[in-house]
Amino acid sequence: MAGFSINESLFVIDMDDDSPSILQVGEILADGIKIGVDRDRGEEFAFYVSEDGRFDILAAKPRLAERWVQEGYLQKHMLQLHLDAHDEIDCYLLISPSSHILARMTDIRVYGSRYYAHMVASAMWHSRNRDAHINLRDGIICELYGVVLPTYTLTPMVADLALLNNVLRGQYDSEDLRSPDDFARESNNSSFGGLNRISFNQALKAHNMAVDTIEPYFQLGEAVDDFVQLQTHAIITGALELRPEFQLYATSSDMVLLVLENQWAQELIDRNLLLQMNLKPVPLGGEPVKALPLPRRYAVEALNNRHCGLNQSAAFDLALALQRARHKMPEASFKDALYVQELGLVLPTRFSGGNKSEDVALIREIVSTGPFAQGPFLADVVKSCEAIVSA
| pLDDT tens string 138-168 | 999 999 999 999 999 988 999 999 999 999 9
What pLDDT does residue 228 have?
A: 61
pLDDT above 50 (res 360): yes
Q: Residue type for 41, please?
A: R
pTM, to two decimals: 0.90
User: Rounded to an integer, what is the distance from CA 136 to the centroid of its chain?
Assistant: 17
What pLDDT does residue 303 have?
A: 94
CA dist 304 and 348 (Å) reads 12
pLDDT in tens, 177-215: 998 888 888 756 556 788 889 999 999 999 999 999 999
pLDDT in tens, 85-138: 788 889 999 999 999 999 999 999 988 899 999 999 999 999 999 999 999 999
* Mean pLDDT score, 31-55: 91
DSSP 349: S
Neighbours of 105 (CB within 10 A): 22
pLDDT band at 59 (very low <50, low <70, confident <90, very high): very high
**CA distance readout (Å), 77 to 30, 50, 81, 198, 384:** 15, 21, 10, 35, 38
